[in-house]
Structure 1
Amino acid sequence: MSDKMINLKLFPVLLFTPGNQPERFAKASEVGANGIIVDLEDSVPVEDKGRARDIAIDFYSRPRSNGVISAIRINNLSTINGIKDLAEIIDKRPFIDMVLYPKTESQHDINLISELLSEAYKDISIIALIESAQGTSNLHDIVNCSSEKLQGLMFGAADYAADLNCECTPQALIWARMKMVEAAALKQIACYDSPYFDFKDESGLVNELNEVRSLGFSGKAAIHPKQVKTIKISFRPTLDQYKEAKEIVRIYNESSGKACQYEGRMIDIPIYSKAQQIISKFNSLS
């Protein structure tokens, strides 16, 4: 359990693992993912949800010191399993850093889960999973919730496409993705793209990573260990970018507020802030 809120922007790879398959947990922790999300929702059949819940709570019953974010995706609170998931977490208080809440559609969802979690946790992060037309329509309302625990958004592309009866293609999803990034920027929180579901298609994953990174996403979820390295490399600044950012920060700091430039480009506060972000991300992913 973390003793302070995590800056999820510095953790670009979150790996899902089914809660009813504990033999995969160790592997998930070994492949370099920034966070492990033990899933109690879509990847677990209804008849196995109780067992998955028990396994997840037991897995996180001891603190973990490997620097990997510990997370659980619970079921929606409109279901009996969602109520049981949250009740068990509050009662047993497993050592988790984050809860992923599926099918978020209003700020009421986040305020409610945050208030309930506060009974057991002082500092725990919530990621709102947006996967419906209602969710994207209410994005600004969601990020303006009263809870400080909301630290990230995640796009659920498959469910969103099904809700809209559209194709799960970059062209069909770009509007929703741009709204996600905009909403996350309003509250300065992390924004994760949906997993790429064909884990055998490396080139397809790379193409999608290039697209979502250019849109402004800070990370991407993974559903298979082999995707982790590719995602991590994609979101890590290059050594040249890091060196340039270091030089920009040095010049700006030495300018004492006077006008300054780097290789013919003026350095203003937004350029300076971006350079600081690059340095922080490079250091966190090295």
Structure 2
Amino acid sequence: MSAPGVALTWLYVPGDRPAVVRKALGSGADVVIVDLEDAVAPERKEYARAATLELLTDPVTAGQTAVRVHVRVHGEDDVKALKELPGLSGIRLPKITHAASVHHVAALAPGVPLYPLLESALAIEHAYSIAGAHHEVRGIALGETDLRADLGVRDDAGLDWSRSRVVVAARAAGLDPPVMSVFPDIRDLSGLRSSCAHGRRLGLLGRAAIHPRQLPVIERAFRPTAQEVEAAEQIMEASMTEAGAQALPDGRFVDAAVVATARRTLTLAGRPA
């Protein structure tokens, strides 16, 4: 589990498998995303919605406050059915391309946190307007499988500009850094680790997973190392003893921006800043 209030691990589970969802709630993921969209076959959509309604109405599930539960909806009927559930922490909106779509859902589900997913070139072009569309938008992220197909890119590097675009859009709109999209090969933990490290360098924070075995790798990849925490603590200590820009004994330059970065590092590590 990550530092309080900081979500690094987001686990997708299919909504038509309630037993798997219940198991996911104890997986250690910071957020469990019940998927009513891509993970559910068309003929099982209604069952998935009904099962999710039952699950999130369950007093035991609703009382698991340590685990945030989001639902990735398939359409308007899902939003209307789920909007008042006590165990719901957010609605993930797939394939959003315009701010108007966000306003529409916000009107259907007032007071529910919204997380638009950008999965096309058009969505990337409108990233900032989507991120700032409504005060209930709490985060944006990419849907990289659909985006890769839409753009026709052949490898992971072809998505880097889009990733940077949503990082900038989220920051400009006052949102938390975007979460990385899923890494599809659940056996390739080394590849997952490398991909997470690359995403972290781009400014992404945390990652969605499709299997519990991916969670510890994601957690370690985005949590500050002991060396990073030590360096941040040194910066914070120096900032308290002398005002303004200064140089540490080892030559590192410290100013307000460096202090802000150090504070963020300590927050992620669960340390007082």
- Give the TM-score, by structure 1 length: 0.87
- Give the structure 1 partner of residue 195 of structure 2: 208
Which of 6, 9, 20 in structure 2 is aligned with 1:10?
A: 6
**2-structure distance, mates of 1:235, 1:86:** 31
Q: Does structure 2 retain, via aligned residues, the 8 Å contact 1:192–1:218? A: yes
Report the alpha carbon displacement of residue 109 of structure 1 after superposing the two structures with TM.
Answer: 1.6
Report the alpha carbon displacement of residue 182 of structure 1 after superposing the two structures with TM.
Answer: 1.5
SS in 1 for 2:47: helix
**2-structure distance, mates of 1:125, 1:87:** 14
Which of 268, 279, 286 in structure 1 is aligned with 2:255?
A: 268
Q: Does structure 2 retain, via aligned residues, the 8 Å contact 1:9–1:218? A: no
Letter in 2 for 1:71: H
- Give the structure 2 partner of residue 79 of structure 1: none
- Give the structure 2 partner of residue 3 of structure 1: none
**1-structure distance, mates of 2:53, 2:86:** 6
SS in 2 for 1:43: coil
Q: Residues 92-241 of structure 1 correspond to what in structure 2 (within 5 A)?
A: 92-118=84-110, 121=111, 124-145=112-133, 147-167=134-154, 169-189=155-175, 190-241=177-228
Letter in 1 for 2:66: G
Q: Which runs of 5+ in 2 are unaligned?
A: none
Q: Does structure 1 retain, via aligned residues, the 8 Å contact 2:245–2:256? A: no
- Give the structure 1 partner of residue 47 of structure 2: 51
Letter in 2 for 1:110: V
**2-structure distance, mates of 1:8, 1:217:** 18
- Give the TM-score, by structure 2 length: 0.91
**2-structure distance, mates of 1:53, 1:93:** 12
Letter in 1 for 2:71: I
What whole-Å deviation, never above 9, does each CA across 1:187-235 have from its counterpart, x for those lacking one? Answer: 2323011100111111211121111111110121101111011001100
1:244 maps onto 2:243 in alignment: no
**1-structure distance, mates of 2:4, 2:53:** 23
Check 1:143–1:70 CA distance in 2 against 1; reply closer, same or farther (3 A cut): same
Q: Percent identity?
A: 27
**2-structure distance, mates of 1:125, 1:268:** 35
Check 1:202–1:134 CA distance in 2 against 1; reply closer, same or farther (3 A cut): same
Letter in 2 for 1:17: V
- Give the structure 2 partner of residue 24 of structure 1: 20
SS in 2 for 1:129: strand
Letter in 2 for 1:47: E
Q: Which runs of 5+ in 1 are unaligned?
A: 1-6, 76-81
Q: Does structure 1 retain, via aligned residues, the 8 Å contact 2:7–2:206? A: yes
Letter in 1 for 2:6: L
- Give the structure 2 partner of residue 4 of structure 1: none
Check 1:172–1:36 CA distance in 2 against 1; reply closer, same or farther (3 A cut): same
SS in 2 for 1:140: helix
What whole-Å deviation, never above 9, does each CA across 1:25-50 have from its counterpart, x for those lacking one? Answer: 23212221110000000000111111
SS in 1 for 2:179: strand
Letter in 2 for 1:271: V
Structure 1 stretches of 4+ with a deviation exceeding 6 A read none
Letter in 2 for 1:245: A
Letter in 1 for 2:32: I
Q: Does structure 2 retain, via aligned residues, the 8 Å contact 1:8–1:152? A: no
Report the alpha carbon displacement of residue 66 of structure 1 after superposing the two structures with TM.
Answer: 4.4
